[in-house]
Amino acid sequence: MANGSRLAAWEFFGTELRRRREDMGLSQAQLGALVFVSGTYIGQFEQAIRKPQMELAIRFDEILKTDGIFERLCLGLINDRRYADYFAKAAELEALATKICDFAPTVVPGLLQTAEYARAVTLATNPLATEEYIEEKVSGRMDRARILKDATRSVYWVILHENVVRIPVGGPECMARQLDHIATLVRERTVLMQVLPCAAGAFAVMNGTLTLMEFDDAPPTAYTEAVYSGNLLDDPAVVKRAYAAYDLLRAAALSPEASLALIESAAEDHRRCASTT
């Protein structure tokens, strides 16, 4: 499903939710209380700013007596090929989080990727894929990144290992533009970014990515990912350990100012490389 049509479908979900809620004579706050979220969240669902999880869609059907319409709409929107099965649930939670902390050891996180970079990464792992498949994956990345543009966007903190900055994904020109994009988001204060330098040596979480997510109405969650697998962690003791690991990464990383300088310097290095080839 194309990015524009998916957005229109979520807007339909929100419009239908508002209509059914008003037909039942419920305010946003009253419906929120019945499904255990705030009235503000209901308003954001109705405006398609945030996307409800399947559990909420089912509760909407029960409270509003809508014979499964919201469950079917939600299922159709989240059950697509844009996300790997092991990441689909994490993508849902990402859109609901009030704070996200990412650590990326090898690849620019999806929320920060340009379409050009996302395409290069997808092609590298799927060299024989159809154009439709590639565009579907790239569309998914771009759709996810919309949460950084919302007026109620999450606090987003990301730590990139220096490897991420140096590997010329898609070629040096593509990589220079990708780093320019990250630098712009930092300067616009959309993201707080640090770089973990190679000189730091061994580091916490060497075996994969780590994402921490916090919510207004739910306990924090951690998500880890390795090759063709991902795990959502909600056990409080395990999440506490994940936060401790992120603190160690943060302590070993460069300051935000030094990190931005490194990003901009690396972008120039890639540009110089492109001009000599």
pLDDT band at 115 (very low <50, low <70, confident <90, very high): very high
- Residue 119 sits in a domain whose CATH number is 3.30.870
pLDDT tens digit string along 16-35?
999 999 999 999 999 999 99
- Among the candidates 50, 78, 106, a domain finishes at 78
CA-CA distance, 191 to 17, in Å (whole number)? Answer: 32
Co-location of 21 and 122 in the same domain? no
- pTM (global) more than 0.85: no
Co-location of 107 and 72 in the same domain? no
Chain centroid to Cα 268, Å, comes to 27
- CB burial class (10 A; 0-12, 13-18, 19+) of residue 251? exposed
Co-location of 63 and 182 in the same domain? no
Co-location of 43 and 161 in the same domain? no
pLDDT score of 239 = 95
Alpha-helical runs (H) found in the chain: 3-23, 28-35, 39-46, 54-64, 69-78, 85-96, 115-125, 131-144, 162-166, 172-187, 236-252, 256-275
- CB burial class (10 A; 0-12, 13-18, 19+) of residue 173? middle
Domain interval for residue 266: 85-275
CA-CA distance, 230 to 251, in Å (whole number)? Answer: 25
CA distances from 53 to 19, 79, 144, 176 (A): 19, 12, 15, 36
Co-location of 129 and 238 in the same domain? yes
Cβ atoms within 10 Å of 22's Cβ, excluding its own = 12
State both tokens at 81: 């090929």
- Among the candidates 26, 49, 78, a domain finishes at 78
CA-CA distance, 189 to 27, in Å (whole number)? Answer: 35
pLDDT tens digit string along 80-98?
556 777 787 788 788 888 9
CA-CA distance, 61 to 55, in Å (whole number)? Answer: 10
Q: Which of 253, 211, 203 is nearest to 230 (CA)?
A: 211
pLDDT score of 268 = 97
pLDDT tens digit string along 28-85?
999 999 999 999 989 988 988 887 888 899 999 999 999 888 888 887 766 555 677 7
Instruction: Tell me what the mean pLDDT of segment 184-190 comes to.
Output: 96
CA-CA distance, 51 to 13, in Å (whole number)? Answer: 9
pLDDT score of 169 = 97
- Residue 38 sits in a domain whose CATH number is 1.10.260.40
C-beta separation of 148 from 190 below 8 A = yes
Co-location of 136 and 211 in the same domain? yes
Co-location of 157 and 28 in the same domain? no
Q: What is the total count of domains within the chain?
A: 2
End-to-end CA distance of the chain: 38
Chain centroid to Cα 260, Å, comes to 21
Q: Average pLDDT, whole number, for the chain?
A: 89
Co-location of 58 and 181 in the same domain? no
Co-location of 127 and 22 in the same domain? no
pLDDT score of 96 = 81
Q: Which of 264, 273, 272, 270 is nearest to 180 (CA)?
A: 264
Q: Is 221 helix (H, G, I), strand (E, B) or coil?
A: strand
Whether 1 shows a pLDDT value over 50: the answer reads: no
